[in-house]
Copies of this chain bind each other. A is one copy, B any other.
Amino acid sequence: QNRGRMLISCPDRPGIVAAVSKFFSEQSANIVQSDQYSMDPEGGMFFMRIEFDLDNLANRLEGLKKHFGTIAESFMMDWSMHLAARKKKLAILVSKEDHCLLELLWQWQAGDLYADIEMVISNHEDMREQVESFGIPYYYVPVTADTKKEAEQKHLELISGKVDTIILARYMQIISPYFLQHYPNQIINIHHSFLPAFVGGKPYAQAYNRGVKLIGATAHYVTEELDGGPIIEQDVQRVSHRDNVDELKRIGRHIERIVLARAVKWHVEDRILVYQNKTVVFV
């Protein structure tokens, strides 16, 4: 209840850690975990993640942020401060394949995913029963070439004000730049290949044709460049000449759900910083 988290990005220069530590010390907060990374002590970017304990944090958070503002300004920090107990609110978008969705629902139910799943939105009705059995609202928003814009408008209405983070759990529609600008670095997609290999459609068929010996999956933040956003997590599994495209898909489903679930977990625990087109992940 009294645990807070802080993320900081700023140009590196001497004194950052000391200033931040002094701030927490003066507030009688105890730093229980601190991670940092400097791209280059001479003029590179500096990234930091802090977990701290402070009595009565829920009530003091706003004051704390205000006080920190002065330090942040002097170091030109891009920063955020969170109450760890405040769960992030997720919307999961899904099409017809259910494995990534089910993994998230299941980890959520097991208590391994500390977040609120506010809703599931799909362009198909297929998974309504399963999702509702978890007590989660299910919205069916059909999408056709002609109704793409209306569908996105409907999505925005559904999630607006209720959701921090959007998970594309094998949602097979491209998100418009208009939509993206409302949720910068807050939309996580799972791509079913080891990016940047096999960008675009049918990656398992591409992998089969190229005869690769490992297949993979990639979770990334969505940007305007298709399959080109900052990579959060990747993993692979060994395959052989015996595995045809269907078998690659079957194996791939396991990697996809593991990789997406890890990425979402790190996101909701404020472990990811984005800089340009890359992520810094403190795990």
Interface on A for B, CB 8 Å cutoff?
12-15, 17-18, 20-22, 24-25, 28-38, 41, 53, 98-99, 102, 106, 110, 112, 133, 194-198, 210-214, 216, 230-236, 240-242, 250, 253-254, 258, 277-281
Q: Are B17 and A34 in contact (CB under 8 A)?
A: yes
Q: Are A211 and B258 in contact (CB under 8 A)?
A: no
23 A–B contacts from the bound complex (CB under 8 Å): A12-B32, A13-B30, A14-B29, A14-B30, A15-B30, A17-B24, A21-B22, A30-B41, A33-B37, A35-B35, A37-B241, A112-B250, A194-B194, A194-B197, A195-B197, A211-B230, A211-B278, A211-B279, A212-B231, A212-B234, A213-B233, A214-B235, A214-B236
What's the least CB distance linking A161 to chain B, in Å?
A: 32
Assembly stoichiometry (copies): 4
Chain B residues contacting A13 (CB-CB under 8 Å) are: 30
Chain B residues contacting A196 (CB-CB under 8 Å) are: 197-198, 210, 212
Minimum CB distance partner of A206 in chain B:
B196
